[in-house]
Structure 1
Amino acid sequence: PAQCHQGPKFFSERARIALVPAFCLRRRAGESLLFVGRPLAAGGELDRTQLAMDWCAAMIAAFPGQYFWQHRRFAGRIPAVPGRAREPWRERGLGLLAIGADEAAEIYAR
């Protein structure tokens, strides 16, 4: 597990708006593609931070060369956080990017 900022979740809850995950994929010098996920509904039962991180994890798994692995959040001691029983992004791959919040809730409930 890695630490992540709670800011996007905090501001989306504070403003009562959906959190929209996005990922920029570099194709070549001066050319990029922007992937924008479906909005993660405000007020849902699922933790929006976890949903956004699962979305990001699916993108990293699909395009690992695009991710900055030397980030300091991966350095040092790993926090004592129990592992997740299931990792939907491993099961669904990029299919996780094409679902809405309701379908995500069903997947996480299993």
Structure 2
Amino acid sequence: MKFMCNVIVDNDIADRLTDADWARMGKESMAYDRALMDRGIFIAAEALHGREVARTVRVRHGVAAVTDGPFMESTEVIAGFILIDVPDIDAAMEVARNIPMATVGAVEVRPVMVF
């Protein structure tokens, strides 16, 4: 069963991290991805640029409106994702609990819909 682990960063916490903290977090994240690959449950992972370059599109009554930034005002933004294939939600939660970036925000776990 596929699960999307959305990695969410709390900018209030992230803004206090040093360059050395970010470098360590990057190394830990890449090592964790490799460990998931070794377990055969890794599908994909990507980091995203910050909210300052995000754009949001809303279409209402056939008219598109584009605004700068994320959909809602929040100090928490999606920073990336890890897509995994594991037997069940318990296994997905075990993966999420060990994602290094969870220490500066949260990880939202959702099953991927199958059509």
Pairwise TM-score range, normalised by the shorter structure: under 0.3
> Of the two structures, which has the highest relative contact order with CA contacts closer than 8 Å and spacing of 6 or more?
2
- The TM-score, its normalising length taken from structure 1, stands at 0.26
Structure showing the higher helix proportion among its residues: 1
